[in-house]
Amino acid sequence: MSELIQYRLEDGVAFVGLCRAPVNALSQRLRAAILSACERAAADAEVKAIILHGADGLFCAGADIAEFGTDAAFAEPSLPDTLMRISEIDKPVIAAIGKLALGGGLELALACGYRVGEPGTRVGLPEINLGLLPGAGGTQRLPRLIGAESALNLILSGEQIDAERARLLGILDRLASEAKHLLDEAETYARELIAMSAPALPPEHCPRPAEDLPDGFFASFRERQESLWKNRLAPRLVLAAVEAACLLPLREGLARELSLFKQAEASSQSQALRHVFFAEREAGRIPNIAPDLPLRSIRKVAVIGAGTMGGGIAMNFVNAGIPVMLLEQQGAALDRGLTMIRKNYEISVKRGKLSADQVEARMELLHGTLDYAELADADLVIEAVFEKMEIKQQVFRTLDRVCKPGAILATNTSSLDVDAIAMSVSRPQDVIGLHFFSPANVMRLLEVVRGKATAPDVLATTMAIAKRIGKLAVVSGVCFGFIGNRMLEPYSREAQRLLLEGATPAQVDKVLTELGLNMGIFSMQDLAGVDVLYLIRQANQAATAHDESYCRIGDELTVLKRHGQKSGRGFYRYEGRERQEDPEVVALAERLSQELNISRRAVCDEEIHDRCLFMLINEGIQLLDEGIALRASDIDLVWINGYGFPAHLGGPMHYAEQLGLERVLASIQRYRSELGAYGEMWFQPAPLLKRLVAAGKTRIERF
């Protein structure tokens, strides 16, 4: 028997334990091993029932994602064939689901006649997050078990549901009393089934899955969802597969599912989303830091400044059960901050996401103070005061005096030099940047800014604590804007320049949203505050002073107090939440073009796409070359999670690879020569991009 399976026979019951750590991903070898163990049990007359389980408890996280895009994905025995064979065994097969059954793991369980979970088990079909649909019977067997509509909702949401809900829906037949009794109770179940001569496959709960659906359900569902799905392929394929489950016999439905699955698997969208999956796991690995480096213990956190960011940052920690001391300069500001936090929680109560008791428990973990002495035992302090170097340095000097040795001192600065902040204390090795994104309690991204002196265990500890509070942490070196905002600069510069050359904000935004970005750059600037971005530019003036057209329209809008959504006018005019193109902005652009001697013309969508996106990409490649980003995929994560770049394009670096690096370089060179002095100044291909193209490389990597 393969080392991937533990097989034992006990008094008529065969136990088939999957052992491919860490999550029993169903690689070709594991599929073959499961099949052969099941055949052995099927052929053994002594075996009356079979229990499939995870040898270490955890059942199965699905198909091996690393095999997709390679021949191994469909190599014999394929997952659908393996599961078909299991469903044909003429003895009861029971899935004993420890911890989780996801994707192909749940499909494996669905191919069994019976399913037992343990308290805390999570089940789901998250394939949609990978641009896929369940491809081993999930879209056919689940509707026959729980009805088409429930199955559709589960598959389209990719949601992982808990054991109790799975039992109520009919996915699990039984729940073990405790996780440690799962196998024993699965065995009891098996013996009951043997005793009652239960059929190998019980009758389908919903042999006609669409029975309760109104006429035209699928057509109207499609119509309602189309706009939400934008240009994503997978949801459309899911719908087609579930519709097939309602129309076709099982075998034909499975064949239809497989063909739709192969279409999804071969799509660039799925390729991109699989890239994102592995990128997220890779982001936590830091070169030259051993995974077993001892970490500092973080039991108490302090946050300085109870404003927009400080409040949100504090919420993250109390949500994870970590006590937080929130420090302000004055009582009124502290009260305001605490009230705002409570208000945010109350919104969650109204939405049914938290109970009133949970809110009280969280508020109890939060202690306001005006006295730095109370921070003496904090393990991690995060500063979120005004964005002024003198103020931050002053705060850090105070922290240096009051904090215990070994406390990690972090700054949430978005644009100041973390090394300069570190220089203000006697322990720069303990200083790090933790750049949360707004709203800090919601946004998943956290840029972890490693200073020159930051100690390895400080970095490793902050990465671990980020995971504990549910953030996706990406390491950045120190530079103006770190990874995300530094790339935002050329992107935003190009967009603004295009307005002077003849485009309108709505035209530019439309090109970007049609590509799949959550928001166009001008809607985003209006949301962030045109004035806020102006101040950031002022702080970075040295880099841009030689170009008088640089974000000029944003500067003028700031002077006109058109600060964006908050003032009802910015790049657009707002009536309530409604956004409208504003002729005044177009007139302003015309006036500035004249003043700056920029000739206006009709700008085509392709030019908008190439100039905005390729300048963004070029800056990303430069950041990689400078070592600010550790890897191209980290840059992708920053832009997907912090700036609404579509995950199904894989982030800007992956998108560039898909378009072809040669095309990106050629376009930059073209605008360099076509846009005169402006092109000469800004359209400078990153040296790394030139080197990659010259060497015929198709992937963006340091080279």
Which residues of this protein are in contact with ligand 3HC, per CB under 6 A?
A: 22-23, 25, 61-66, 79, 102-104, 107, 126-127, 130, 132, 134-136, 138, 281
Write down the residue that tokens 């087609």 correspond to: 240
CB of 70 to ligand 3HC, least distance (A): 12
Q: Is 328 in the site for ligand NAI (CB under 6 A)?
A: yes
Token digits for 394?
A: 């002053």
In the bound state with ligand NAI, the residue whose beta carbon lies nearer, of 310 and 570, is 310
Distance CA 527, CA 513 (A): 15
Q: Are 487 and 656 in contact (CB under 8 A)?
A: no
Cβ atoms of 405 and 296 within 8 Å: the answer is no
The burial class, CB within 10 Å (0-12 / 13-18 / 19+), for 631 is: buried
* Closest distance of CB 381 from ligand NAI, Å: 11
Residue 358 interacts with ligand NAI (CB under 6 A)?
A: no
Residue 387 found at the interface with ligand NAI (CB under 6 A):
yes
Half-sphere exposure of 99 (CA within 13 A, CB side): 14
- Nearer Cβ to ligand 3HC (154/382): 154
> What dihedral do alpha carbons 504, 510, 513, 518 form, nearest 10°?
50
Residue 107 is a catalytic residue: yes
Strand partners, 472: 445
Our CA angle for 544, 548, 553, nearest 5°, is 100
Q: How far is the CB of 416 from ligand NAI (least distance, A)?
A: 7
Check residue 476 and give left, alpha or beta (phi > 0: left; psi -120 to 50: alpha).
Answer: beta
Residue 65 binds which of ligand 3HC, ligand NAI, none (CB < 5-8 A, kind-dependent): ligand 3HC
| Letter string b/e over residues 650-665, b meaning 16 or more CB atoms within 10 A of that residue's CB | bbbbbbbbebebeebb
With 0-12 / 13-18 / 19 or more C-beta atoms within 10 angstroms meaning exposed / middle / buried, residue 75 is: middle
Q: Which of 305, 428, 433, 451 binds ligand NAI (CB under 6 A)?
A: 305
- Considering only 154, 183, 237, 304, the residue that binds ligand NAI (CB under 6 A) is 304
- Residue 387 binding target from ligand 3HC, ligand NAI, none, CB below 5 to 8 Å by type: ligand NAI
In contact, 681 and 547? CB cutoff 8 Å: yes
Of the pair 107, 531, the CB lying nearest ligand 3HC is at 107
Output the smallest distance, CB 95 to ligand 3HC, in A: 15
Residue whose C-beta lies closest to ligand 3HC:
103
Distances (CA, A) of 405 to 376, 461, 563: 9, 15, 44
Q: Which residue has the tokens 């399913």?
A: 115
> From the list 259, 263, 308, 348, which residue makes contact with ligand NAI (rule: CB under 6 A)?
308
The catalytically annotated residue of 3, 67, 88, 107 is 107
104 binds, among ligand 3HC, ligand NAI, none (CB under 5 to 8 A by kind): ligand 3HC
From the list 149-157, 322-330, 512-520, 569-577, the region that binds ligand NAI by CB under 6 A is: 322-330
Based on CB atoms, which residue is closest to ligand 3HC, 41 or 79?
Answer: 79
Amino acid at 544: T
330 DSSP 8-state letter: S
Tell me the DSSP string of 575-595.
ETTEEEE-HHHHHHHHHHHHH
Q: Pairing between strand 431-436 and 408-411? A: parallel
436 or 683: CB nearest ligand NAI: 436
d(CA 29, CA 67): 11
Which of 67, 118, 127, 447 is flagged as catalytic? 127
- Selection from ligand 3HC, ligand NAI, none that 554 binds (CB < 5 to 8 A by kind) is none
Considering the complex, state which of residue 169 and residue 389 has its C-beta at the smaller distance from ligand NAI. Answer: 389
Q: How far apart are CA 368 and CA 378, in angstroms?
A: 14
Min dist CB 407 to ligand NAI, Å, is: 17
Find all residues with CB under 8 Å of 348, minimum gap 6, and list them.
Answer: 354, 359
Nearer to ligand 3HC, 130 or 637 (CB): 130
Interface region with ligand NAI, contact rule CB under 6 A, candidates 2-10, 47-55, 215-223, 304-312: 304-312
How deeply is 680 buried, as exposed, middle or buried, from its count of CB atoms within 10 A (0-12, 13-18, 19+)? exposed
Query: Closest CB to ligand 3HC among 444 and 609?
Result: 444
The position carrying tokens 């389908």 is: 204
The nearest distance, CB 554 to ligand 3HC, in angstroms, is 40
Q: How far is the CB of 305 from ligand NAI (least distance, A)?
A: 3
Among 307, 323, 516, 568, binds ligand NAI (CB under 6 A): 307
Residue 385 interacts with ligand NAI (CB under 6 A): yes or no: yes
* Range 417-446, binding ligand NAI (CB under 6 A): 435-436, 438
d(CA 120, CA 97): 10
What is the rounded CA–CA span in Å between residue 19 and residue 233? Answer: 34
Distance in Å, CB of 268 to ligand NAI, minimum: 32
Picked from ligand 3HC, ligand NAI, none, the partner binding residue 107 (CB below 5 to 8 A depending on kind) is ligand 3HC
Of 215 and 371, which has the nearer Cβ to ligand NAI?
371
Would residue 619 show up in a list of annotated catalytic residues for this protein? no
Element (H, E) at 41: helix 28-43
DSSP class of 214 = P
Nearer to ligand NAI, 36 or 438 (CB): 438
- With CB cut-offs between 5 and 8 Å by kind, which of ligand 3HC, ligand NAI, none does residue 414 bind? ligand NAI
Give me the least distance between CB of 130 and ligand 3HC, in Å please. 6
Classify strands 301-304 and 324-327 as parallel, antiparallel or unpaired. Answer: parallel
Six token digits for residue 592: 């500035």
Q: Residue of minimal CB distance from ligand NAI?
A: 307
User: Catalytic site residues?
Assistant: 107, 127
- The binding site for ligand NAI (CB under 6 A) comprises 304-310, 327-329, 333, 384-387, 391, 395, 412-414, 435-436, 438
